[in-house]
Chains A and B, each alone.
Chain A
Amino acid sequence: MSDTAFPQAAPRSALRQQSPISEAPYVKWTLIALTVGLLGLFLLVPLLVVFVEAFRLGFGEYLATFRNPDALSSIRLTLLVAALAVPCNLVFGVAAAWAIAKYRFPGRAFLISLIDLPFSVSPVVAGLIYVLILGANSTAGGFLLENFNLRIIFAVPGIVLATIFVTFPFVARELIPLMEEQGTGDEEAALSLGASGWQTFWYVTLPNVKWALLYGVLLCNARAMGEFGAVAVLSGKLRGETVTMPLQVELFYNEYLSVAAFSLASLLAGLALVTLVIKTWLERHFADQLASGGVGH
């Protein structure tokens, strides 16, 4: 049997010049076409539609959106929320990554999973939990409202809290694999040369992770500005007060102001594009200084 099989197999294998893992050309081209087709249909076309709809009645109408007080206040609020949430998560993320990457302690693995929680919990659920814990009818929320006249839910603090929750993993997830890979050798070297803990952190640890940190902050910021679910639950949608850009887009759209909705949406889309460009640039120039593990985004 094998005598007859061998001469048949030989010429076929001689034809195969590609690497052993590659399939026939039609498989390759089908897969590429499928990927490009799906990406185009589900990502590129919608993105184009945003800009086409925004400019449907001309540039003047487009600009008019940004004279609308509601739109302006939503932009201001979004910037404010990002300006508060991102630095918080920068500090939290560095602290968490430091603790996890440089120390061994009981519960470490659990802490790593916990950091990922916001990725797996629906933002709406997260929002509802905050409403339950800090709402005016809850013990904590009632206490704050009565004694300090501080309203958390359906107010700006709640929106900031929700944004921090949702964007928490980005910085930490980016830093942990890199810090683990770098180990503690550089820190030990700095300490042995007489540097204090802070000096070691500022002069050695932080510069070693600066590009990864920027990468994490970038993704964190993009998500902070675009978050809808958790913020929608906590905002109460008081026009001009607790409405962020994504919420304002929805409000405009529901009022059939589609040009205004898409004009505002184009700003968010533009932010996404800028993020993408910077992210690609970082990956191209500092790939070796970014975490190789990748992030769930």
Chain B
Amino acid sequence: MELRIVNVRKEFDRFAALHDVSLDIRSGELIALLGPSGSGKTTLLRLIAGLDFPTEGTIYFGDEDASRKTVQDRNVGFVFQHYALFRHMTVADNIGFGLKVRPDATRPPRDAIRKRASELLDLVQLSGLEKRYPNQLSGGQRQRVALARALAIEPHVLLLDEPFGALDAQVRRELRRWLREIHDATGHTTVFVTHDQEEALELADRVVVMSQGRIEQVGTADEVYDTPNSPFVYGFIGDSSSLPVRVDNGQLWLHDRSIGLAAPDLPNGEGMFYFRPHDIELLDGCGGCIAGTVVASRRVAGTRRVELEIGGERQSVEIELPVDHPAVTKSRIAFRPKQWKVFPAVQPQGQIAARPGEAVAAAG
């Protein structure tokens, strides 16, 4: 089912958790809401579910205004970070719960419910565990049961709130692939919340990057990674380094030296220069480059991360080099980023640094 969120605003005790958020979700799409804690991503998910109601704005399920419908009437499958399995019920009873509580007219017979539970257990690859209790399962198994329970009611949309947040890294990666498979097999419109960008980029068709109650950017993994549209997205998605620069007649200047890069479309003035540490070329001489003194170098997995101090104002950036690169032993390195972006310094740094007192009440 298609979802449309139109100009939604949500306040908790006059604290605005969401400001004027609009988002279209296509039918059958797998969407990730990605952002740091306090960005409003969980609030948005709960508004879609009907576990909270918007202060202003409308949420459409298809063409129908669902804003004032209760969670029971919206027919959504919700998966919680901490599973929220019913601890006194067996796995089969948990999965069948949504069918058992239906009114007499639409409730399937007992056998049909049991059969459906078994089918769903097969789907989530836990066949034969019908009689177990939640506390006899591992974290990953519990989350699979929670998903089966949410799927049992054949929901219009599937909503997952940090579904893998409580699991360890190994299980997370495994479940991520598996969730994608389930999504492709069942075709439910799926929205999941995560603060893990790797998870969002790998799993989702489109990623919604959120910060401080606003949507910063919506796009595919490639779009948000390669063409971030704000300093926040550049800083939040992937590794990045930044330097304050000056634009002068389409040329970029770092203090009194030219970087050797042209930005013909930008107006003159101050700006913030962003690049990816791994996406650089090293230079020998320096007639238009960024040069810095090596202050530290760390081994990170297959690469070496070198911290450089640039210029007199003690700005430091990180670049990534192959482990055995000869430049690693040098005390001074010159380089030029291959991919980069300058954001004019219109808005102060406030976009990245959380304003004090704003990250309090938002559901995390």
Contacts and interface: CB of A to CB of B under 8 A. Distances in A.
A192 B78 contact: yes
B75 A189 contact: no
B72 A207 contact: no
A192 B71 CA distance: 5
A204 B72 contact: no
Contact of B80 (A189, A203, A207): A189
Contact of B78 (A186, A189, A199): A189
A185 B71 contact: no
Interface string B84-105: 1111100000000110011000
B84 A193 contact: no
Interface in A172-193: 185-186, 188-193
Given A188-B51, A188-B78, A195 B101 contact: yes
11 contacts: A186-B84, A186-B86, A188-B78, A191-B51, A192-B49, A192-B50, A192-B51, A194-B98, A195-B72, A203-B97, A208-B86
B344 interface: no
Contact of A189 (B70, B84, B152): B84
A203 B100 CA distance: 11
Interface in B26-71: 49-51, 70-71
B348 to A, nearest CB: 36
Interface residues of B, number: 26
A208 B51 contact: no
Contacts of A185: 80, 82, 84
B149 A193 contact: yes
B97 A190 contact: yes
Given A188-B84, A189-B84, A204-B86, A194 B75 contact: yes
Given A188-B51, A193-B150, 6 more contacts: A188-B84, A189-B86, A191-B70, A192-B51, A192-B72, A194-B102
A8 interface: no
Contacts, number: 63
Nearest to B100: A203
B101 A203 contact: yes
B153 interface: yes
B277 interface: no
Nearest to A210: B88
B76 interface: yes
Contacts of B78: 188-189, 192
A186 B150 CA distance: 13
B77 interface: yes
A191 B49 CA distance: 11
Contacts of B150: 192-193
Interface of A: 185-186, 188-196, 199, 203-204, 207-208, 210
B156 to A, nearest CB: 12
Interface string B182-211: 000000000000000000000000000000
Given A208-B87, A208-B88, A193 B80 contact: no
Nearest to A202: B101
Contacts of B49: 192
B72 A191 contact: yes
Contacts of A210: 88
Interface string B290-313: 000000000000000000000000
B307 to A, nearest CB: 42
A180 to B, nearest CB: 15
B363 to A, nearest CB: 12
Contacts of B146: 189
Contact of B71 (A191, A203, A204, A207): A191
Contacts of A194: 72, 75, 98, 101-102, 153
A208 B87 CA distance: 7
A43 to B, nearest CB: 37
A238 B38 CA distance: 66
A121 B237 CA distance: 60
Contacts of A204: 86
Nearest to A289: B87
Contacts of A193: 97-98, 101, 149-150, 152-153
Nearest to A204: B86
Contacts of B98: 193-195
A212 B150 CA distance: 29
Most B-side CB within 10 Å, residue of A186, A193, A204, A210: A193
A195 B149 CA distance: 13
B7 to A, nearest CB: 25
B150 to A, nearest CB: 8
Given A189-B78, A189-B80, A196 B101 contact: yes
Contacts of B101: 190, 193-196, 199, 203
A210 B84 CA distance: 18
Contacts of B85: 189
Interface in B95-146: 97-98, 101-102, 146
Contacts of B84: 185-186, 188-189
B88 A196 contact: no
Contacts of B75: 194
A207 B88 contact: yes
A188 B80 contact: yes
Interface centre among B82, B101, B146 (most CB of A within 10 A): B101
Contacts of A196: 72, 101
Contacts of B72: 191-192, 194-196
Contacts of A199: 101
A189 B97 CA distance: 10
